[in-house]
Every structure is written in C-alpha cells, then in structure tokens.
Amino acid sequence: MRVVVCLKQVIDPLTPATALVLDASAKKIRGGAANPPVINGFDEQGIEAALRLRETNEDVEIVCVAVGERFNNDVMKRSLAVGADQLILVQDPSLDTWNAYPIAATLAAVIRQIGGADLVICGRQGSDWDNGLTPFILAEQLGMPLLTLAKRVSITGETRIEIERALADGSMTMDAALPAVVTVTSELGALRMPSVSARLTAARKQPRQIALAELDVAATPSPAPEVVDLTIPVTSRICTFIEAADGPGAGARLAEILLQTGAVRLGGER
Amino acid sequence: MRTELALRLAVIFVAFVWAGFRFERLARPLFAAPAEARLRPFGPRAWGVVVNVFGHARLLRKPYAGLLHAAMFFGFLFLLTAVAQVFGQGVSPLFDLDAVGGSTWIAFGQDVFAVLLLTGVAMAAFQRGVWKPERFMGSNQRDAAIILCLITAVVVGMLMQNAFRVAGGDPSARWRPVSSLIAAAIVSSGVTGTAAAHGATAFAWMHMLAILAFLVYIPGSKHLHMLVGIPNVYLRDLKPAGRLVTPDLEQPTLGLSDIGQLGRKQTLDLYACTECGRCQELCPAFASGKPLSPKLLIMNLRDHLLKTRGVGGHRAGLRGALIGGAVAEETIWSCTTCRACMEACPLFIEHVPKIVDMRRHLAMEAGRVPDGISGAMLSIEQRGHPWAGTRFSRLDWCRDLGVRVLAPGEATDTLLWVGCTAALDARAQKVARALVRLLRAAGADFAILGEDEKCTGDSARRTGNDYLFQMQAAANIETLNARSFRQIVSICPHCVNTLKNEYADFGGAYDVLHHSQLLSGLMENGRLPGPPKSDSAPGAVAFHDPCYLGRYNGEFDAPRAVLGGFGATVAEMERSRGRSFCCGGGGGRAFAVEPPDQRINVIRAQQARATGAPVVATACPFCLLMLDDGCKTAARNDGGGAPQQVRDIAELLDDALRGAGAAAIS
C-alpha cells in the first residue's frame, strides 16, 4: 500500500515579526537569512499519521511529495529521517504562488506519474497563508473522496479508510473506500523525533527531483485570485506608569487615559 | 589441639571459598565492563586518595558522621594487626608479631583503637537508631545494623581474647590497659590458669568467626566500600567538571540502555555506594518530591546489575530492562544536572554522567523526550535557539544601543556571547543591556556575533541529544574561528561552561570568562568607576550561586566581589556556594513542564526569602527567570506581601553606578 504525504515548505510560523522581510513589488514575504523555513506543521502531522499506519499495517510505503519554488534540502529531509521511504521534490519558480490550483495540479501529476496512491494525506492547511484549498482541489483532480480534519486515521480491511474527525464539541467517525485523500489536524499529535542513526542514514539519502516539464499538469482555470496588497502589521507597545496616591485615584486616572486615547468609549457613542 | 587446628583450617577454608564465590559474582561484570583510561596521572590521583580517604575531607563536612567514620576507619586499619595475629596463630601456634612489637606497642594500639572503634560503632548506632537523619531514607537499615553487630563482635572478640590471655598471665599485660582492666574482673571472678586459657581460645574463635562472617558478608553489603572506596576515589574523574564524554554518533547503540554498557569505573561506582544519602539530602529534584534520589538511583542500578549480570551472566532477554524497569523514565528526566550529589559524595560516585547517558538513549535512539524539552530541542534545531515563540530576533535587544556586530574576518578584544535567553527573553535582555553599559563605562573594546550566534547546545547535550549538541558546536566553532578576539565573555554560565570546557573536543579552544569575572576584574583594576555617593546604601542582597558557575566552574567569589564592590552586603542563604540549591532550570529543566507542587524554583525562592534580604541576586539568565517566577509564588504562599526582586549582578552594579534614579528606565 502506498501512502503519499503532501508537504509544503513554509516560513517558520514562529519567526519574529521584526525578522520578516516584505518584498512589496513581488508581494511576497521572506523569512530572512537567519530564519530557515520549516515543513508546514500540519503536514508534519500527516507524516506522523502515515508512520502510525505503518505500525499497524504491513507493507506501507510512505512517499512524501513537495512542490514549491526552491527547497532547503536539510529541512525537507526530516521526512526521510523519521521514516519516509522516498521524498520527491518539484522545484520551479512558477510554483511560488499563492494560487492553490497549480500546486494541487502539480501534486496530482506527481502522484499519477509515480503510479498512483492508495491514500493521500495532507495537512489541513498551510501555516503561511491558511487558505486550506490544496487538499480539496487535489481530491478533485485525483477523483478521490476527501475526508477532512482527521485526528485519527486507520485502515480497515485493507480497502477502506476510517477517520475520527475533530469537531469543536466532539468527534465524528467517517469511512470511505480507498483510494482517498485525508486532511489531518493538530489533535493528531506532533511528529515523532527521529533517532540519530535514522538521521545519519537520511543525511546520506537524496530527494528525488522531478522537473515540472516532465509532468503532465492539468491547466489552471482562469481567472485566478490575485494578491492586491501585502503588509506586515506593525505592533508597538507604549508603557505608562500611572502615578496616583491610592488605588481609587489610580483607577480614575486610568479611566481618564483610556478615554483620552480612545481605547474605550462611553455608552451610546459610536 | 590437633582437631581444633584442623577445624580452624577447615572453617577458614570454607569461609574463603564462600567469600570467593561471592566476590567473583561482583568481579565478573566489573571486569567484563570496558575500562576507561583513568589510571594516570598517578600523582594527583593518589593525592586525592590521601586527602579524601585518609584525610576524610568530604566526610568531615558532617562533623558527627565524619568523626564516627574516622574512629571506625582508623580503628579498622590498626586492628588489621589483630586480624593478622588471629589468623596467623590460627594456622600456626608459633606465629606472632613480637618482632615488630606485637606484644608491646601494637598491643597498646590495639587496646586504644578498639575503644575508639567501639565509640564509633556506638555513635553510628545512635545515628541510625535514634537520630535517624532523613538522608538514610531508602537505605538498607538492616544491612547497616548487621555490619555494626559484626564489627562489635570482632572488636569484643579481640578484647576478650586478650583479656583472658592477660588473666592467664600473658606478658603483654602492661601494654594492654583495657584488656587488663577486663582481665582484673575475670581474675576476681576466679577464672585463671587453664580456665583462662580456654576462655582465650573461645574468644579467639569468636574473633576469627566474626572476621570470617564479615568477609563473607561484605560482598553483598554496602560495606563493600571498604574495598572499592580507595580505587573509586583514585579513579575519580579529573576532567573539568563541566565536560561530558563525547560519544561517537556512528556507533551502533547510543546512550545507556543496558547495564552491561556501563564502563568499569561507572560499574565500580555502584559497588562503592555506602547508601549514606548525602547526595539525596542535597538533591533539588528529591527535595521537590520528584521521583529521583541519586542514592536510590545508584542502589537500583547496582541491584539491577547483580540481578541481571551477576547470576546468569547472560544478557539475552534482559535488554531494555534498565530504563522503565530498574530506573523509571520520569526519574531520568527529573535531574537538573546541578551536580550537588557528585560534589557531596565522599566516594566520588558519578551520578550525572549516568543520567545523561540514559537520556542519550532516550533522546537519540528511543525518541522519547518530555514535551517541553523536546519542543525546545526542536527549536534549537530549526531556529538555533530554544525559545520557540519569542517575539524577538537576536539583535532586537540592542537596536538602540548600537552594539558592534563582529563580521567574519574582523577582530575585537572581547567577544560578548549574549546567549539565547539574554537575547530573546524580555526580562533577561535587561541584563545584556546593563552589561553593555558597564562595558562602555569601562571603555572596553567589545562586539557581538548577532544573528550568527547560535545556541551553544548545553541544554541539548544535557538532555541527551548529543547529535544536536555536536551540530551546534560545529556551527558555532566555525563562526568563532572565522573571527579574532582575545576572550569571550558571556552572561550565561551554561554558555561559559560549554564554550570553555566542551568545545575543546571539537577544535574550539577559547579564553572564556563569565561576566562576574570580567566585572570583578574591571572593578579591581579601577576601570569601572566607584559608585556615586548616595544617601541610600545598597543594602542586603541574597546571592544565589548558579550551579554552572559555582559547582561546575569553581567561581564563587567573583559575583560576591561585584556585589561587595558597590557596597551591597551579601546575605548568605543556608545553601550557598558548593552546597547551593539549584533554581530548577539546569539540565534542560528550564523548558520542562513542572508540576505545580514540585517546583524547585519556589523552594529556592523560599530559602532566599528566609534571609530577609529584599533583593535576590544571581548571575545566570536561567536562574533569573526561574527565581523571578519562584519569588512571586513564594511571596503568595507566604501570605502575600511584596515578592523579592530578582536581579542579575550586572543590573545591580549598573544601577549603582548610574544612581538609583536611572534604574527604572533600563
């Protein structure tokens, strides 16, 4: 059984705002040299889901596929270190896009090229833009059912998939025939730590590179959504010590300041 | 006479064979273990034996226990003459030590040391039976009682044997004051002549049997330390305290997961333990109710070793039983690596390296690391610092200060190694800012590495992830070696320790100072101006010794000199200097999730609070954060009231030099 896990390389979501660099003309954000990218956290949980399937099912082959502009191999090879059998990268400048269509179409083309998949696992969304569209388009392109927000994934009778969906007020069990696309969510749990021997072995392995031109990618419908403007929110802190003789005095002074600065308004005012 | 001799020989033979089997059971795993290269240098090693075994240096830190041990130790040494006599005469009636004073000064010494020894036994019995200090909790009390009884039997047997001899007219009478006293009582009860000779024989038997019982008993007892104590002290670790052994990451198994992987000295440690509990008494993890006692750890490892390797000698089927069996994972992760245990152990047992070695297995093979710690380690790997989620980048703390960033190829006198915490934590940043102001006031030529500085890997190494540590070391050494500087100064004792003691294994040898050392030096040679005259004296400051500055790197005086230098009075806590109580942040524990009822920082804050000083000073960013938090809880637990202020020594000095008014806008 082949399980394909789709990965996205993203700007480290924990990069401090002061380190982000805005490329205004290209309408893109870069993490800066000192802040290497990471594998999208939800996608890492996808790898974890696949590894758990391998613990309970025989002959599970895990293939990780990532498409994007340019990859940091050391970062992406974490997937090999934790136990993926293969890592496939498609690198092309045109894949640095906000549009989910060409991304999903390229992923689908890779999956078709390697001979299909029994199960495709995606993270619920990318932590950079949070669009969450790729898995939907991918399922459409592959003609597979889509099961979303899984916190537990299991294979029943080798031909069906069962997931437990995380809901705000409980959970839901869903079941579908394989092949299928599943998205996983953070309740599934973090990706395991690789052992050092696995890391050292992974360090010697190389990802398989496929050129975009070698793939039969479906055409992107137009018009595509467009990014009109992009800014980094500026946050600042002003710290003021309130001088007052006692508690009530300090409270009154605080209320005055809040009113003056417009942080609070009196009832009825709009 | 003949039959008695034959019986005696038979008993001695049986006892020796029996003891031999019991010793062999211990020796087998010991000699199967890989030997560490610890035989040389002879001089310092032997001197350590003189000071610590014969001089009782560490034992006497507890005067009562030290004295009772000295009484028994020297008593035992001298009474070896009596052992020689009783066995010599046991084998051949012609044997005596008269040529070397056996019936003169040796006889006198035996009487004196017998009394000394019995005094020691009585003191020990009082300590164990009446006083019962908490450090004995978990020790094998039955074993201790048996040992005291056997020692008493040996000494009483010897004294009575001699007394009956004196009663029978032995010429050594005038050299044996104590035996003569007992002899007088024996004679007055009418026993003389042949009867006395029979008595002497009977007690010679008691003397001999007690010694043989002792011999047979020792291999299964904590009293084994009388044999392995000296080698264990001789083979003690002479490396810098802060340098862990670097493992080869290419070897098939990493870390300690099978007791058979222990090195020979590490195995000897297990035999040397006397269960005295001095380690347990000082262990912050134990004090906070966590499932770790360094003493029980060693005892459990010893019992596990003998159970799994002493009996069958086969390792098959026993693999993995160490972690999760003999030692719980929780126990392994409870350690702050503060080294209080190792500093207290009279026999130089190495607890921390064993714990780190088991962590190495968990971190590098099993992949089982507690949540908070694993998150910090992943952050070091991905971002070069453990503070995932910080809103700062490495230069934010000094944007308005214009500190020079040293580019590759450039040179400076002092490289300021800021450290992740001082660069990325809002509270700790104030320390770095204070230090920059002080360095400028002193006219120092200094620079920082900025974005090129990465975590030194201390927490990674001490949580067992040596792979990550070695990656950090390689990256930092490459950065450092591309620049020139005379010395490195850091605010963080953990960084100091790693840069100074551990990077040498990877091609990085540097002159490294802690900021307390730099500042005290600058104050001493007058490069920092004296504090301005002010009306308010700085007052009392409780100083918390960071483990990695004090115990690990021997620096207790420099931070106190800084505090004293601007007129503060150091209020010493009960646990200070070498006995300092960890803040709870060492060994990666700064990132661990602490159960609310097991917080070491709160215990330490309470100890600081007991001094009554309004300010707690420290010299480590981990300690700063841990105690800042702890002091607030301690104040609340104490029924409200203002928490103590927690400040770094650099902040306090900076305040003093700038005048108190400037302190608010640091």
pLDDT, tens only, A243-266: 888 889 999 999 999 998 888 888
CATH code: domain B259-368 is 1.10.1060.10
Q: Which strands sit side by side in the sheet containing A208-209, from one edge to the other?
A: A170-177, A160-167, A146-156, A180-184, A119-123, A2-7, A61-68, A86-91, A208-209
Q: Is residue B393 less than 8 Å (CB to CB) from chain A?
A: yes
- pLDDT, tens digit (0-9, with 9 covering 90-100), for B566-577: 889 999 999 999
In B, which residues are within 8 Å of A38 by CB distance? 382
Average pLDDT over residues B142-167: 95
Of the candidates B505, B391, B407, the one whose C-alpha atom is nearest the C-alpha of residue B453 is: B407
**Interface residue of B393, B398, B453 to substitute, partner A, most A CBs within 10 Å:** B393
Nearest CA in chain B to A196: B364
Residues of chain A with pLDDT under 50: none
Domain B540-665 has CATH 3.40.50: yes
| Peptide bond preceding B41 in cis form (omega within 30 of 0) | yes
pLDDT of residue B539: 85
Nearest CA in chain B to A14: B389
- pLDDT, tens digit (0-9, with 9 covering 90-100), for B111-126: 999 999 999 999 999 9
> Does residue B309 surpass a pLDDT of 80?
no
pLDDT of residue B92: 83
- A195–B394: do the CB atoms touch at under 8 Å? no
pLDDT of residue B311: 47
Of A18, A197, A199, the CB nearest to B396: A18
* CB B581 within 8 Å of CB B550: no
- Provide the pLDDT confidence category of residue B312 given band limits of 50, 70 and 90: very low
CA A78 to chain centre: 15
Question: Angle CA(B613)–CA(B617)–CA(B619) in degrees, nearest 5?
Answer: 165
Contacts of A224 (CB under 8 A, 6+ apart): A99, A101
Of the candidates B500, B394, B515, the one whose C-alpha atom is nearest the C-alpha of residue B448 is: B394
Q: Is residue B376 less than 8 Å (CB to CB) from chain A?
A: no
Q: Is residue B663 less than 8 Å (CB to CB) from chain A?
A: no
> Does residue B6 surpass a pLDDT of 60?
yes
3-class DSSP string for chain A: CEEEEEECEECCCCCCHHHCEEECCCCEEECCCCCCCEECHHHHHHHHHHHHHHHHCCCCEEEEEEEECCCCHHHHCHHHHHCCCEEEEEECHHHCCCCHHHHHHHHHHHHHHCCCCCEEEEECCCCCCCCCCHHHHHHHHHCCCEEEEEEEEEEECCCEEEEEEEECCEEEEEEEECCEEEEECHHHCCCCCCCHHHHHHHHHCCCEECCHHHCCCCCCCCCCCCCCCCCCCCCCCCCCCCCCCCHHHHHHHHHHHHHHHCCCCCCCCC
- A12–B374: do the CB atoms touch at under 8 Å? no
Average pLDDT over residues B456-463: 97
Q: How far is CA B601 from CA B324, B492, B596, B605, in A?
A: 27, 18, 11, 6
Q: How far is B467 from chain A (nearest CA, A)?
A: 7
Of B250, B374, B384, the CB nearest to A193: B374
Per the DSSP assignment, residues forming a β-bridge with A176 are A161
B42-51, B170-179, B370-379, B411-420: lowest mean pLDDT where? B170-179
- Provide the pLDDT confidence category of residue B422 given band limits of 50, 70 and 90: very high
pLDDT of residue B537: 65
pLDDT of residue B102: 82
Average pLDDT over residues B205-216: 95
B 422-451 residues inside an 8 A Cβ radius of A: 451
* Integer Cα distance of A158 and B504 in angstroms: 55
Q: Radius of gyration over alpha carbons of chain A, in Å? A: 23
In A, which residues are within 8 Å of B470 by CB distance? none
Of B250, B367, B379, the CB nearest to A193: B367
Average pLDDT, chain B: 93
Of the candidates B349, B341, B241, B345, the one whose C-alpha atom is nearest the C-alpha of residue B283 is: B341
Of the candidates B443, B434, B664, B662, the one whose C-alpha atom is nearest the C-alpha of residue B534 is: B662
Q: Is residue A16 less than 8 Å (CB to CB) from chain B?
A: yes
Average pLDDT over residues B352-372: 95
In A, which residues are within 8 Å of B396 by CB distance? 16, 18
| Peptide bond preceding B493 in cis form (omega within 30 of 0) | no
| Bigger pLDDT: A218 vs B90 | A218
- B383–A200: do the CB atoms touch at under 8 Å? no
Of the candidates B330, B284, B254, the one whose C-alpha atom is nearest the C-alpha of residue B592 is: B330
- A197–B379: do the CB atoms touch at under 8 Å? no
Q: Is residue A12 less than 8 Å (CB to CB) from chain B?
A: yes
pLDDT of residue A105: 96
- A33–B382: do the CB atoms touch at under 8 Å? no
All structural domains of chain A? 2-214 (3.40.50.620), 237-270 (no CATH)
Nearest CA in chain A to B383: A35
